[in-house]
């Protein structure tokens, strides 16, 4: 668990550094290159920096061990941090949309051609970040890291939209200057859509939604191989940060002693937690056949 925690925190720190550098590059290029689509992209990247900081704070807190006040640990802070990230995305999308509409109605110069080169590099870098962090989120089962990965993917998409808009404005010339602003408006819609994609699984985690069928099936298979277990009945799993809590009902012979049933339950618990390290606890109820 400590190794997984350290891995997640390292990934979050790298994400913060990357987002900070990219936001500075976008903002500078947007101002000097007269591109609001690029400035809008920089605003979105700036919110990414703050969301990454919240992610880091949440991950540090969520991996604290259980205590008397939090017997199930502190993992629920992860989806709460995801909610905060979604709020930031919605705010940034709204700001970008309002400013884009205002710019569309106001005549202005076309963006500078060099902004296309900047955006092309950023799209590639952001997609690489998405793939690296997405892989880490799958390895660690961290919903916050998954949200962070999608931040990078949405940034890549908005940068691509800006690239297309600026490209039209530069290539088509006079009369097409607003293509840059239409690209920024499209980017705001993409940001809102990605905010919804992040919100849905985080809400499911808070509500202990029944969405862990693969894990539950693995638990049933492991339990059924323990001597004395005739079958499994109810089995529920709920996610708490990067870990899971499992409730499992075992069916055993009705004629065995309470002590024997207790021993079977402990053996099942040890085997499940030994083979599935992402499970932090298993609560077992014995049912007679």
Check whether residue 237 and residue 271 sit in a common domain.
yes
Residue 71, class by beta-carbon neighbours within 10 Å (0-12 exposed, 13-18 middle, 19+ buried)? exposed
Give the residue from 181, 206, 231 where a domain finishes. 206
Q: Is the pLDDT of residue 125 over 60?
A: yes
Check whether residue 106 and residue 195 sit in a common domain.
yes
Task: Return all residues near 115 (Cβ < 8 A) that are at least 6 apart.
Answer: 29, 30, 33, 35, 38, 166
Check whether residue 103 and residue 233 sit in a common domain.
no
Q: How confident is the model at residue 285 (pLDDT cuts 50, 70, 90)?
A: very high
Q: Is the pLDDT of residue 266 over 90?
A: yes
> What number is the average pLDDT over the span 190-203?
80
Q: Cα–Cα distance between 123 and 163 in angstroms, integer?
A: 9
- Residue 243 three-state SS: strand
Q: Is the pLDDT of residue 33 over 60?
A: yes
Q: How confident is the model at residue 259 (pLDDT cuts 50, 70, 90)?
A: very high
| 2-32 and 36-62 helices, crossing angle to 10° | 160
Check whether residue 58 and residue 155 sit in a common domain.
yes
Q: What is the residue range of 24's domain?
A: 2-206
What's the structural domain count of the chain? 2
CATH number for the domain harbouring residue 218: 3.30.70.1350
Q: Which of 140, 139, 183 is nearest to 159 (CA)?
A: 183
> What number is the average pLDDT over the span 93-107?
81
Check whether residue 89 and residue 230 sit in a common domain.
no
Give the residue from 165, 180, 206 where a domain finishes. 206
Check whether residue 38 and residue 152 sit in a common domain.
yes
Tell me how far CA of residue 137 lies from CA of 8, 132, 203, 260, 276, in angstroms: 8, 9, 17, 40, 17
Residue-wise pLDDT tens digits, 39-83: 877 877 777 777 777 777 777 777 677 778 887 777 777 778 778
Check whether residue 220 and residue 177 sit in a common domain.
no
Q: Calculate the average pLDDT of the chain.
A: 82
Tell me how crowded residue 288 is: count the other CB atoms within 10 A of its CB.
11
pLDDT of residue 4: 64
Q: Is the pLDDT of residue 216 over 60?
A: yes
pLDDT of residue 39: 80
Check whether residue 183 and residue 249 sit in a common domain.
no
In the chain the beta strands, taken as DSSP E runs, fall at 231-240, 243-252, 279-288
Task: Return all residues near 64 (Cβ < 8 A) that are at least 6 apart.
Answer: 70, 73, 74
Q: Is the pLDDT of residue 143 over 80?
A: no
């Amino acid at each position: 668990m400590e190794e997984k925690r350290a891995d997640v925190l390292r990934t979050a720190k790298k994400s913060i550094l990357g987002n900070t550098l990219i936001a500075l590059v976008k903002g500078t290029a947007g101002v000097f290159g007269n591109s609001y689509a690029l400035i809008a992209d920089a605003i979105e990247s700036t919110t990414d920096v703050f969301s990454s900081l919240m992610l880091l704070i949440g991950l540090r807190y969520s991996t604290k061990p259980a205590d008397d006040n939090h017997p199930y640990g502190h993992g629920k802070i992860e989806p709460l941090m995801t909610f905060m990230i979604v709020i930031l995305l919605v705010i940034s999308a709204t700001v970008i949309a309002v400013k884009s509409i205002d710019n569309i109605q106001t005549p202005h110069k076309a963006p500078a051609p060099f902004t296309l080169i900047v955006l092309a590099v950023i799209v590639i870098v952001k997609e690489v970040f998405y793939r690296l962090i997405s892989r880490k989120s799958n390895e660690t089962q961290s919903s916050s890291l998954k949200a962070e990965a999608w931040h990078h993917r949405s940034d890549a998409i908005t940068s691509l939209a800006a690239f297309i808009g600026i490209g039209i404005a530069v290539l088509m010339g006079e009369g097409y200057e607003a293509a840059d602003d239409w690209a920024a408006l499209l980017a705001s819609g993409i940001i809102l859509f990605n905010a919804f994609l992040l919100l849905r699984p985080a809400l499911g985690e808070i509500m202990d939604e029944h969405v862990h069928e693969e894990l539950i099936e693995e638990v049933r298979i492991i339990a059924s191989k323990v001597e004395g277990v005739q079958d499994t009945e109810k089995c529920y799993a709920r996610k708490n940060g990067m870990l899971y809590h499992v409730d499992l009902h075992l069916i055993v012979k009705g004629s065995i002693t309470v002590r024997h049933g207790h021993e079977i339950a402990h053996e099942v618990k040890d085997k499940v937690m030994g083979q599935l390290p992402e499970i932090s606890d298993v609560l077992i109820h014995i049912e007679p056949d």
